[in-house]
Amino acid sequence: MEHVVIVGASLAGLNAAETLRSEGYTARITLIGDEHEDPYDRPPLSKQLLTGEWDADRLPLRTTDELADLNLDLRTGRRATGVDSANRVLHLDQDESLDFDGLIIATGARPISLPFGADLDGVHTLRSRSDALRVRSDLEASRRVAVIGAGFIGAEVASSARARGLDVTMIEALSAPMLAPLGEELAKWAKSLHQEAGIHMRFNARVADLLGDRRVEAVVLEYGSRIEADTVVVGIGVRPNVEWLADSGLTIGDGVICDQYCRAAPMIYAAGDVARWPNGLFAHFRYASPQRTMRIEHWTNAVEQGMAAARNLILESRGKPLEAFAPVPYFWSDQHGLSIMASGITSPRDEFRLVHGSLDANRFAAIYGLRGHLTGVVAVGWPRMLRRYQALIRDQVTWEEALATAEEIER
């Protein structure tokens, strides 16, 4: 294997490159990124960068010297336009093509925009460094902010804007913030958290229009309700960046469809937000069949899957057995001075039990279960407890075993 190309100068892509080197691969690595910056960290974009605690110079994932030590052909500001997977050729903008022996796709995802209002000043989505800097600049000159979407990104942006002392309104189509990942009981707790911070909230609300001449002035909801705002941040989800792979010969759905090894085709792998794969740790009880897949949009998964994809590419090149990628997903969200940590898979449809602590005290651990197994845990102010149940999820314990462990801890 003489040339590996990694598309996506992202967290997943960078960790893939580092893993290739640590596994003894010394030949050429080309790392391609469509942004002009070197790889940088994204979680601070909706938190420390927006509040002003961090400047943009703290975002790079590695120093210039650390990147140089990897001996990469790093091409920033370049865009991949297609792949010929059969002949192992990557097509780039500027009519350039690269032959490769191995390919890792780590092109991430992009925010979903509203079908109106994008031409108004003060209307933003948040995904990139430049997005965050534009939002921060507007927050510095704003009084009233509307955040459309109360998932994790929307909730973090609302928290950051409120920390700056701004008048913030959160607008959500569902009945509570973060309802899908947290379930009803913890979503109600999250709602109280935002209320106590002074955020105005409009739930079961759909946005009909954004008003303004050149700059946004108001958000209009269905049935005519109007919310004044001079900055609007839209956080209603993301789509994986797969359109450029339409004629690649790879299987594309809501992401690049991979096997349990993160492999999309021989010598072609995917990692991070763009990858969809069957996680064998959950398939036997979570899904109706092992062919069902998951796609995870969190920092830890990008790191781990980038490493796993690189290791398996090396193993395949050496004719050795591949290693299934079956992690316990983990993510966190910082809101109003609290860190909300979750591990495993959670859903509003799952069995739910608050097992430790108190919602009122903002220090607790709650577990989730499905089909008789422990599937997830959410903890606030209690990282040690999160790790305890994360290990139980990895061990695939039953729901009753998890409850027995909780009782033993409480004694």
- The pLDDT of residue 35: 96
**pLDDT level of residue 245 (50, 70, 90 thresholds):** very high
Whether 242 and 235 have beta carbons less than 8 Å apart is answered as no
**pLDDT level of residue 285 (50, 70, 90 thresholds):** low
Tell me the whole-structure pTM to 2 decimals. Answer: 0.95
> 366 is written with which tokens?
């709650």
pLDDT tens for 165-200 read 999 999 999 999 999 889 999 999 999 999 999 999
CA 343 → CA 134, 329, 393, distances in Å? 32, 5, 9
Q: Indicate whether 286 pLDDT > 70.
A: no
**pLDDT level of residue 411 (50, 70, 90 thresholds):** confident
Distance between CA 220 and CA 208 in Å, rounded?
6
Q: Indicate whether 97 pLDDT > 50.
A: yes
Q: Indicate whether 141 pLDDT > 50.
A: yes
DSSP 8-class letter at 175: S
Whether 219 and 226 have beta carbons less than 8 Å apart is answered as yes
Helix residue ranges per DSSP H, 262-372: 280-286, 299-317
- The pLDDT of residue 293: 86
- The pLDDT of residue 289: 42
Q: Indicate whether 287 pLDDT > 60.
A: no
- Which domains, from first to last, does the chain contain? 3-110+238-317 (3.50.50.60), 113-234 (3.50.50.60), 337-410 (3.30.390.30)
**pLDDT level of residue 284 (50, 70, 90 thresholds):** low
φ, ψ of residue 32 in degrees (nearest 5): -115, 130
Compute the radius of gyration of the chain from its Cα atoms: 22
| Helical axes 152-163 vs 129-140, angle rounded to 10° | 40
The H or E element containing residue 238 is: strand 238-240
- The pLDDT of residue 371: 86
Cross-strand partners of 340: 333, 380
pLDDT tens for 77-91 read 999 999 999 999 999
Q: How many CB atoms lie within 10 A of CB 32?
A: 23
- The pLDDT of residue 282: 85
pLDDT tens for 329-345 read 999 999 999 999 999 99
Average pLDDT, the chain: 95
SS (H, E, C) 297-309: CCHHHHHHHHHHH
**pLDDT level of residue 224 (50, 70, 90 thresholds):** confident
Q: How many CB atoms lie within 10 A of CB 38?
A: 18
What average pLDDT does the segment 364-392 reach?
95
Cross-strand partners of 227: 219
**pLDDT level of residue 283 (50, 70, 90 thresholds):** confident
